[in-house]
Structure 1
């Protein structure tokens, strides 16, 4: 579990408006978010997996052709 120690800054009405974190805490949060995004993308890919596979060489050719078409 991630442990953070946020500091809150209040606006003129006394409401919390900003949060201050250490760079280490911020980096840890960003890493957790990236991990969650990877999991989400994996789950989505797994859900849409038809079982169809292509050889790696063919995949590289398709990627290269797309780069040339877009680049």
Structure 2
């Protein structure tokens, strides 16, 4: 029980009537821009994470050095 050619043509015709010929390329362009923006955001986030981890490590190392320097020598 698949789609017949007439059903597919009817769906395409309704789609064209709703969105028009001019709006479809604009819609696809907006979709492409959204995907590019999403990919850029993901790559920016991945680049920011190693820097944040390095910062946490340096803060942890400084705190450890401070604790060690405050302990009296035996």
- Interval of TM-score (by shorter of Structure 1 and Structure 2): 0.3 to 0.5
Q: Normalization by structure 2: what TM-score?
A: 0.40
Higher share in strand: 1
| Structure number with larger C-alpha Rg | 2
Point out which structure has higher relative CO (alpha carbons under 8 A, 6+ apart).
1
Q: Normalization by structure 1: what TM-score?
A: 0.42
